[in-house]
């Protein structure tokens, strides 16, 4: 306990850590700003010099945590081998996504749920980008026909995200990480096979826009 100084010095980060620990212990909503402050050893109102509201804390935490998800996805694809079958790489990415969520359900729930409000934050590497790059490899390798590439990210993302959310919300149950991997594998392969055999779109699709890519738009034509 020795050196408790008046000025904490690292309060912002310490609050984020404490909040994350509390989320892990008691669920995405089972904690209070006061509790996090107390755990850091600081008065409740001190937090308001670093976050404008509890919600701001939650959003900041969400950013950190989503960045880790992006790293995890990138690491999973990298571990699958650089030159190997790009489909295998995508499967690895999918397993990484879903397992990340299942291993820390409360944190994942907070991270996913906080995306709703406010401007899309700058997260690096952004999960969306990692997925995007991997899909580009797939069309490059000829596994995914170019006409089906547009918006394919959203189809794959939806399937993965759905599986993750169903699992962390307890709507579907799977025993053990390898069962999770197996299900993620099946989902990714099914979606990708289906996209590959899609008839070419009759006319231009109305493109979905992700909150992330929207942030850096501006010069692209409407």
Partner DNA sequence: ACATCGATCTGAGCACTGTTAAGATCCGGG
Partner DNA sequence: CCCGGATCTTAACAGTGCTCAGATCGATGT
Of 122, 141, 182, 216, the one binding a copy of itself (CB under 8 A) is: 182
**Cβ atoms of residues 100 and 127 within 8 Å:** no
Report the C-alpha gap between 218 and 222 in whole angstroms: 9
Residue 95's nearest CA partner among 134, 124, 121 is: 134
* Residue placing its CB nearer to DNA in the complex, 8 or 149: 8
> What six digits make up the tokens of 8?
């904490």
Q: Which listed option, a copy of itself, DNA, none, makes contact with residue 183 (CB within 5 to 8 Å by class)?
A: a copy of itself
Give, in order, the Cα–Cα distances in Å from 2 to each of 5, 36: 9, 20
27 torsion bin: left (phi>0), alpha (psi -120 to 50), beta (else): left
For residue 17, state whether it binds DNA (rule: CB under 7 A).
no
Only one of the segments 43-51, 120-128, 136-144, 201-209 lies at the binding site for DNA (rule: CB under 7 A); that segment is 43-51
For residue 53, state whether it binds DNA (rule: CB under 7 A).
yes
* Residues of span 119-138 touching DNA by CB under 7 A: none
Report the C-alpha gap between 87 and 95 in whole angstroms: 12
Q: Which listed option, DNA, a copy of itself, none, makes contact with residue 7 (CB within 5 to 8 Å by class)?
A: DNA
* Residues of span 54-93 touching DNA by CB under 7 A: 54-55
For residue 197, state whether it binds a copy of itself (rule: CB under 8 A).
yes
For residue 26, state whether it binds DNA (rule: CB under 7 A).
no
Report the C-alpha gap between 44 and 35 in whole angstroms: 8
Rounded to whole angstroms, the maximal C-alpha distance in the chain is 71
Other Cβ atoms less than 10 A from the Cβ of 206: the count is: 7
To a copy of itself, the closest distance from the beta carbon of 77 in angstroms equals 20
Q: Which listed option, a copy of itself, DNA, none, makes contact with residue 142 (CB within 5 to 8 Å by class)?
A: none
Binding string, residues 136-175; x marks residues near a copy of itself by CB under 8 A: ---------------x--xx-xxxxxxxxxx--xxxxxxx
Report the C-alpha gap between 40 and 111 in whole angstroms: 22
Residues forming the site for a copy of itself (CB under 8 A): 112-113, 115-117, 151, 154-155, 157-166, 169-175, 179, 182-183, 186-187, 189-195, 197-198, 205-206, 208-212, 214
């Amino acid at each position: 306990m020795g050196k408790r100084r008046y000025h904490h010095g690292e309060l912002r980060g310490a609050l984020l850590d404490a909040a994350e620990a509390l989320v892990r212990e008691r669920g995405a909503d089972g904690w209070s700003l006061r509790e996090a402050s107390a755990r850091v050893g600081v008065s409740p109102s001190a937090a308001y010099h670093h976050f404008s509201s509890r919600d701001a804390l939650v959003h900041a935490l969400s950013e950190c945590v989503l960045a880790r998800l992006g790293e995890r996805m990138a690491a999973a694809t990298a571990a699958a081998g650089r030159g190997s079958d790009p489909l295998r790489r995508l499967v690895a990415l999918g397993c990484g996504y879903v397992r990340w969520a299942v291993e820390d359900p409360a944190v994942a729930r907070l991270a996913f749920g906080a995306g709703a409000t406010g401007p899309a934050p700058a997260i690096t590497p952004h999960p969306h980008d990692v997925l995007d790059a991997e899909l580009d490899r797939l069309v490059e390798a000829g596994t995914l026909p170019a006409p089906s590439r547009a918006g394919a990210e959203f189809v794959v993302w939806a399937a993965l995200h759905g599986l993750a959310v169903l699992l962390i919300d307890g709507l579907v149950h799977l025993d053990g990480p390898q069962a999770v991997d197996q299900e993620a594998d099946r989902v990714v392969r099914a979606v990708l096979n289906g996209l590959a055999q899609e008839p070419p779109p009759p006319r231009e699709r109305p493109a979905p826009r992700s909150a992330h890519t929207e942030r850096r738009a501006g010069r692209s034509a409407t």
